[in-house]
């Protein structure tokens, strides 16, 4: 019995030693389980791997505009994202982690390709079902040398064994999660206002509370509106959340050298040299190219007069032909039938002024007349390409929308006043900053002292400021964002306009013109 007891004790000791030699067995087991359920976490190294562990100087930077989802749908599909890098303190090493959710039908053969600054760095096979997967890409010194990292996503592949259709428009979807981020080690802690803004997804974080003093609210709003005019995103948050910039820091950022807003754009606009319209298209039956343009971004709100483009079109079966349709804002502008056998088409399409809006979408669609027999027949793969010299050409009249009319009136003055900002919520304050930036002309400055033209923000909860009184209100304009489509509405103050807003309250600004001063009295 004693020998049996000694043998059991020896067995227990050997088991304990074996277990102690693998203290990470639990972690390994959980990693294996996660791999079976979600797929493994993939790490893509380079010839310059990390040389040391992260120390105390580290940061996590998410992509800009995380409120806008990045979704790749169909095969092929393309998207991109930009991650900023600190400027005043420099990253020494790090990695990019891409978290993604994959929804893929069976029998799909494809990959998600990830490129950094134009160089392919990772590829992930598309697995059938709903799968969550993380990809880590180790960053090289070249990646870290710039001021940003541009990430391109390409989802490519096919579904060759589909029983009834070769269409690939709805066979795979990948969402790049907002948790995707840069994980960086730095040579020193982040301290400057500029780097703190970059580390907050490129947005200036503005602390805001209805209980701030009137002076502080006005200072914060003026600085935030100036930042928006410099094309800097601002996030208003309650109180003193993390990364909140102080009022002096906001003023420094707002006063940095550079144009208040981007200079007005000039025609012509190239629509296929780069971007989603560039390059060869592969498809069945039909294909389209779309271009969006905003007339408020152009000099004098000039409309394009013509759209000049050339298409290369693939071969069709005998007697089949191409039809090319050009539309503007959902209205047909021109339809052309390409002669049988032709593999190129060119047109200079005149764009009617009365079809234009502030924001416009022009679309060119090429459709094949090829006769397809049978229920499950999408026809052969077709190809087409819009040539890189396609362009929208100016020369049309100015777009005389109400917002442009108000901006034209304000452009005659040097300054606009904003003497007082009411106790808005953070969300309302952010909306007001965006409206101010949209209304003011390029050279106009915002002053706290009353001017010939003055801005008064108003909230959904308090529309008392919108009353026709003998204080210049009747000479004012209402500016707010349409609740349905986010279009900025500008209209002169009237009883009807005020009554409509009180029925459907919104946050906005009131621009008033004082009769007590002339434009020359601006200070």
**How far apart, in whole angstroms, are the C-alpha atoms of residue 321 and residue 258?**
52
Listed in sequence order, the residues at least 6 apart from 459 whose beta carbon sits closer than 8 Å to its beta carbon are 422, 424, 425, 428, 507
Q: Are 115 and 152 in contact (CB under 8 A)?
A: yes
d(CA 154, CA 124) in angstroms, rounded, equals: 11
3-state secondary structure of 121: strand
Beta bridge partners, 418, equal none
pLDDT of residue 430: 94
Segment 365-395, tens digit of pLDDT: 999 998 776 556 666 889 999 999 999 999 9
**What is the signed CA dihedral for 408, 409, 413, 419, rounded to 10 degrees?**
-120
CA atoms within 13 A on the CB side of 503: 6
pLDDT at 17 over 50: no
Confidence at residue 106, expressed as pLDDT on a 0 to 100 scale: 86
How far apart CA 523 and CA 516 sit, in angstroms, is 14
- C-alpha separations of 50 from 58, 99, 123, 182 in Å: 14, 21, 21, 14
- Return the SS3 of 106: coil
* Statement: residue 163 has pLDDT above 80: no
Helices 402-410, 426-439: crossing angle, 10 deg rounding: 70
Name residue, tokens 């978290």.
99
**How is 13-62 classified by DSSP, letter by letter?**
HHHHHHHHTTTTHHHHHHHHHHHHHH-PPEEE--SS---S---SSEEEEE
Mean pLDDT over all residues of the chain?
82
* SS3 of the chain: helix, strand, coil, percent, to 5: 20, 35, 40
| Contacts of 162-170 spanning 24+ positions with Cβ under 8 A | 162/107, 163/376, 164/375, 164/376, 165/376, 165/378, 166/284, 166/378, 166/381, 167/284, 167/378, 168/74, 168/75, 168/76, 169/73, 169/74, 169/75, 170/73, 170/74
pLDDT category at 22 given cuts 50, 70, 90 is very low
**6 secondary structure, DSSP code:** H
Q: Are strands 415-417 and 445-447 parallel, antiparallel or unpaired?
A: parallel
What is the spatial distance between Cα 288 and Cα 365, in angstroms, rounded to a whole number? 4
Backbone φ and ψ of 406, nearest 5°: -65, -45
More confident residue, 7 or 22: 7
Give the DSSP H/E element, type plus range, for residue 436.
Answer: helix 426-439
Work out the average pLDDT over 445-467. 85
- Domains assigned to the chain: 42-186 (2.60.120.260), 202-261+402-521 (no CATH), 269-393 (2.60.120.260)
Cβ distance 449 to 517 under 8 Å? Answer: no
pLDDT confidence of residue 305: 97
When comparing pLDDT for 276 and 204, which is higher? 204
When pLDDT is averaged across residues 40-61 and rounded to a whole number, the result is 55
Highest mean pLDDT among 32-46, 208-222, 318-332: 318-332
Pairing of the two strands 42-44 and 91-104: unpaired
Please indicate whether residue 267 or residue 488 has the higher confidence score (pLDDT).
267
Quote the pLDDT of residue 9.
53
- At residue 232, the pLDDT reads 85
Distances in whole angstroms, Cα of residue 89 to Cα of each of 85, 181, 190: 9, 18, 6
- Highest mean pLDDT out of 22-26, 261-265, 425-429: 425-429
At 350 the pLDDT is 97
Query: Does the structure show a pLDDT above 50 at 48?
Result: no
Q: Work out the average pLDDT over 459-483.
A: 72
Instruction: Identify whether the C-beta of residue 349 lies closer than 8 Å to the C-beta of residue 326.
Output: yes
């Amino acid at each position: 019995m004693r020998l049996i007891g000694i043998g059991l004790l020896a067995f227990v000791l050997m088991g304990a030693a074996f277990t102690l030699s693998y203290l990470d067995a639990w972690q390994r087991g959980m990693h294996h389980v996660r791999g079976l359920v979600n797929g493994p976490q993939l790490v893509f190294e380079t010839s310059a791997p990390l040389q040391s562990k992260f120390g105390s100087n580290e940061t996590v930077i998410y992509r800009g505009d995380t409120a806008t989802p990045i979704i790749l749908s169909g095969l092929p599909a393309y998207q991109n994202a930009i991650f900023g890098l600190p400027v005043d303190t420099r990253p020494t090493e790090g990695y990019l982690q891409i978290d993604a959710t994959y929804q893929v039908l069976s029998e799909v053969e494809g990959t998600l390709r990830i490129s950094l600054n134009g160089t392919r760095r990772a590829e992930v096979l598309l697995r059938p079902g709903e799968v969550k997967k993380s990809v880590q890409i180790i960053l090289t010194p070249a990646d870290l040398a710039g001021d940003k990292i541009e990430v391109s996503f390409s989802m490519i592949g096919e579904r060759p064994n589909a029983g009834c259709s070769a269409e690939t428009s709805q066979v795979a979807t990948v969402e790049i999660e907002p948790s995707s981020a840069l994980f960086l080690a730095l040579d020193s802690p982040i301290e400057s206002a500029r780097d703190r803004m970059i580390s907050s997804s490129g947005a200036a974080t503005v602390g805001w509370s209805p209980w701030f003093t009137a002076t502080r609210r006005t200072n914060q709003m003026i600085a935030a509106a100036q930042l928006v005019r410099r094309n800097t995103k601002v996030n208003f948050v309650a109180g003193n959340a993390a990364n909140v910039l102080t009022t002096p820091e906001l003023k420094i950022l707002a006063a940095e050298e550079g144009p208040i807003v981007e200079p007005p754009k000039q025609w012509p606009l190239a629509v296929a040299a780069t971007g989603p319209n560039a390059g060869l298209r592969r498809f069945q039956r039909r294909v389209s190219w779309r271009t969006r343009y905003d007339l408020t971004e152009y000099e004098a709100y000039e409309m394009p007069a013509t759209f000049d483009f050339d298409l290369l079109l693939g071969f069709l079966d005998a007697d089949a032909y191409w039809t090319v349709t050009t539309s503007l804002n959902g209205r047909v502008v021109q339809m052309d039938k390409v002669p049988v056998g032709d593999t190129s088409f060119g047109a200079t399409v005149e764009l009617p002024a009365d079809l234009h809006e502030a924001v416009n979408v022009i679309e060119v669609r090429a459709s094949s007349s090829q006769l397809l027999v049978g229920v499950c027949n999408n026809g052969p793969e077709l190809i087409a390409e819009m040539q890189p010299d396609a362009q929208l050409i100016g020369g049309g009249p100015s777009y005389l929308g109400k917002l442009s009319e108000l901006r034209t009136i304000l452009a005659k003055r040097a300054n606009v006043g904003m003497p007082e900002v009411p106790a808005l919520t953070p969300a309302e304050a952010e909306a007001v900053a965006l409206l101010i930036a949209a209304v003011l002309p390029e050279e106009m400055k915002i002053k706290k002292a009353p001017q010939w033209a003055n801005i008064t923000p108003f909230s959904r909860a308090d529309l008392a400021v919108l009353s026709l009184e003998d204080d210049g209100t009747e000479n004012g304009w209402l500016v707010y964002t349409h609740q349905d489509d986010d279009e900025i509405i500008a209209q002169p103050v009237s009883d009807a306009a005020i009554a409509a807003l009180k029925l459907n309250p919104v946050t906005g600004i009131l621009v008033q013109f004082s009769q007590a001063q002339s434009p020359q009295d601006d200070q």
